[in-house]
Copies of this chain bind each other. A is one copy, B any other.
Amino acid sequence: MTADPQDEGSPAPRKRVTSADVARVSGVSRATVSYVLNNAPGRVISESTRELVLSTAQRLGHVPYAPARTLRLGKSNIVLALVRDFAFGFVSHRVLRELDTALAARGFVVLAHRFDESLRPLSDLWGLISPNVVVAMGGLTVPEQAIIEDSHAKFVRSHGIVPQDRAGEMQVEYLYSRGHRVLGYAMADSPAVQLVAEERLAGARRACARLGIPDPIVETVSVDNPVTVFPALDRWAAAEPKVTAVCAHNDEVAIMVCTGLASRGLVPGKDLAVIGIDNIPMARIALTTIEMDVEAYSKAVIAAVLAAIDDKPQPDPAGDYLHLIVRDSA
């Protein structure tokens, strides 16, 4: 918030300093300025001219104007990351940070956009911003994918790199190996993670079927409203036979379950086994979890985006992204 009284109503929107201004003042042509400013490959510019142009550009305070450049070139240096919510979880945040760092080195900028079809159709976005690459963090519906593919931007899906269903399977497999036969499943309710949540649950169900134990008893827990864990705990305890272990959608939900247990004087891993997914920092005290290898995941996303930028075929995302980490809670 601008508290300075003098810049209120700012009446003087400084005229833009164009490369033509720089050319005029330097006494050279616009083309020459462009060559210098872009280190035009295959062009030889005399050192004196180069320095002259650079110094006047500096002196006049010239900043290249992105829209003009993009219009001329037909493509921008923008990577648009589509997110369902700005607060979208430890792993995705980390991936985005790594992506941002890697792309800054290539002269690209990563911008995050929270998309919400009910707010504005995705297709209207292209009239507002013209990204070179669109990278979807998290799952996308089929129509959403179609709209992005219809745009002129290249399209990278981060979803699909890590087999989410496999994470659910691994949770069940571990709990089974520890003797648990009646499982609960703590779903997250946030629409932002719905697609991922469904895949994880599907994986868990598949593992149960394969191992010959009943489907997990699914309860929904709201990350925005932690007290919702209590009714879930009640129902798992009331089940017949009683639930002895719970797969949580992720570590956050798992920690909520553990906290709920603790506040009732129960001990996670003893009175009820709890296993998460992600291995977020807060989990590292006591939570058994399926670690998401953030570094490997980030590398895969970066490779995919760089390939898209360079118009190269998408790399094979196969890799080992999931690892069991056993701690106290299960």
Chain A interface residues (CB < 8 Å from chain B): 1-3, 7-10, 13-14, 16, 61, 63-71, 74, 76-78, 80, 85-87, 90, 93-94, 96-97, 100-101, 104, 107-114, 116, 119-120, 123, 125-130, 149-152, 154-161, 223-227, 256, 259, 262-263, 281-282, 284-286, 300-301, 304, 311-314, 317
- Complex contacts, A86 vs chain B, CB 8 Å: 86, 93, 96-97, 100, 112
- Known A-B contacts A8-B313, A300-B1; A113 and B109 likewise in contact (beta carbons under 8 Å): yes
Closest 6 CB pairs of A and B: A8-B313, A87-B93, A67-B70, A64-B127, A111-B111, A112-B112
Residue among B93, B104, B130, B313 making CB contact with A66, cutoff 8 Å? B130
Alpha-carbon distance A100/B87, docked complex (angstroms): 13
Contact status B2-A156, CB under 8 Å: yes
Alpha-carbon distance A327/B227, docked complex (angstroms): 15
Sample of 18 further A-B pairs with CB below 8 A, known A101-B116, A109-B128: A1-B156, A2-B314, A7-B149, A8-B313, A64-B126, A66-B127, A67-B68, A78-B128, A86-B112, A87-B87, A87-B90, A87-B93, A104-B120, A110-B114, A112-B114, A256-B282, A259-B285, A263-B285
Contact status A3-B66, CB under 8 Å: no
Alpha-carbon distance A286/B151, docked complex (angstroms): 49
Residue among B77, B96, B151, B154 making CB contact with A128, cutoff 8 Å? B77
Query: Closest chain B residue to A64 by CB distance?
Result: B127
Contact status B285-A1, CB under 8 Å: no
